[in-house]
Amino acid sequence: MIRVQSPANIAFLKYWGQRDAALTLPCNDSFSMNLSQCYTTVALVPDDDPSVQTLEITEYQKNSPRPATEDERARVVQFHQTVVQFLQISEDNHRGFRITSANSFPQKAGIASSASFFSAMAMAFARLYHADLDEQRLSRLARLSGSGSASRSVPDGFVWWQHGTGDEDSFATSIASPDFWDLRDIVVLVHDGEKKVSSTQGHHAAQTSPFFQQRIDTLLSRAAAMKQAFLDRDFEQFGMMVEQEMVQFHSIMMTQQPPLWYWTEETLRVIKHIHQLREDGLMAYVTLDAGAHLHVICQAADVEQLVQKVSAIAGVRGVIVNQPTIGTRVRDDRA
Ligand code: DP6
């Protein structure tokens, strides 16, 4: 059996918009942190019969697995096809697989569960064919799953995905190890009334926003400034840029066609609360992906106080405190 564990990640600089959908090539660089308490573990049992292709999912806090839906299974079967092409495995040598996947966090909660799942699957499928891919190739392969942010779950700690010139050089690398900076991400789960639109559909429509080109034109200089603030461990400067980036990213989503509005009343309430806490001297900044739930970024020393304050806000259903962590690993290799 092959067992792989991989973290979800939170993007400080967001990936939004693709320049090549088939190859999942992004329009811009992105930057994220791996999340210690939000991860997927996959167990893959090889089968000599290539027609055996099963997937079971053990959902968060459930004891027994359920069979995957046909859509979920189809994406995995399709990804297997991508992997055999990538590894140039001839059809005679294709293998079958029985996969069980389990999440340490609620699925479809606006935390990147497809990033943790597909990065884990990239390594599990590579191992199925005894391919020991280096990190860059593994990150590329994870990207080709179609869940581009999966490329950022592969390397350790704080991770930069360079958009690259093409398939070969669009991969993610670590720019700092998990212990570089004691940042925390408090995932704040709020009531989520919206019907989900997949990120894939969202990426396709990003360029219809009248502000999209302006975002791309200014991204390089903003990315450089954010990276510098990060490397200087300048929390106020860094946090401010992370929050500005989030607002810009949501403005793009709100103005693309069809528009995507993910903020709920509760989202806004938490954001305003964090702003008030900052005015009162408690430093924390907010970012959100394509969902209503929030990620409160803070320093380790403030985490307890923030958890207490945020948990008391009306509409908050729960919190998950994360620290930076390593990337995709065969389970037994994890420290
Ligand atoms: C908003 O296409 O990687 O999270 O739907 O999880 O496959 P999945 O997402 P993906 O897009 C991620 C978009 C984002 C921003 C980011 O993580 O950079």
Listed residue (10, 5, 315, 251) closest to 152, CA to CA: 10
Closest Cα to atom 10 of ligand 1: 147
Atom of ligand 1 nearest to the CA of 10: 17
Q: How many residues does the chain have?
A: 335
Distance 276 CA to ligand 1 centre (A): 29
Distance 216 CA to ligand 1 centre (A): 17
Crossing angle of the two packed helices 212-231 and 235-255, in degrees rounded to 10: 160
Written as tens digits, the pLDDT of the chain (335 aa) is 999 999 999 999 999 999 999 999 999 999 999 999 999 999 999 999 999 999 999 988 888 999 999 999 999 999 999 999 999 999 999 999 999 999 998 776 667 779 999 999 999 999 999 999 999 999 999 999 999 999 999 999 999 999 999 999 999 999 999 999 999 999 999 977 555 677 888 999 999 999 999 999 999 999 999 999 999 999 999 999 999 999 999 999 999 999 999 999 999 999 999 999 999 999 999 999 998 899 999 999 999 999 999 999 999 999 999 999 999 999 875 55
Is there an atom of ligand 1 within 6 Å of 245 CB? no
Closest Cα to atom 6 of ligand 1: 114
Distance 288 CA to ligand 1 centre (A): 11
Task: 228-233: list long-range contacts, CB under 8 Å, 24+ apart.
Answer: 230/12, 230/31, 230/158, 230/175, 230/176, 230/181, 231/175, 231/176, 233/180, 233/181
The H helix count followed by the E strand count for the chain is 8, 14
Distance 66 CA to ligand 1 centre (A): 25
| Residue 253 phi, psi (nearest 5) | -60, -40
19-32: buried (b, 16+ CB within 10 Å) or exposed (e) per residue? Answer: eeeeebbbbbbbbb
Amino acid of residue 147: S
| Residue 288 phi, psi (nearest 5) | -140, 145
Atom of ligand 1 nearest to the CA of 30: 18
Mutation to probe ligand 1, out of 24, 196, 289 (largest number of atoms < 8 A from CB): 289
Interatomic CA distance for residues 41 and 93, integer angstroms: 26
242-265: buried (b, 16+ CB within 10 Å) or exposed (e) per residue? Answer: bbebbebbbebbeebeeebebbbe
Is there an atom of ligand 1 within 6 Å of 147 CB? yes
Mutation to probe ligand 1, out of 24, 149, 253 (largest number of atoms < 8 A from CB): 149
Cα radius of gyration (the chain): 19
- In this predicted structure, what is the pLDDT of residue 198? 77
Atom of ligand 1 nearest to the CA of 290: 1
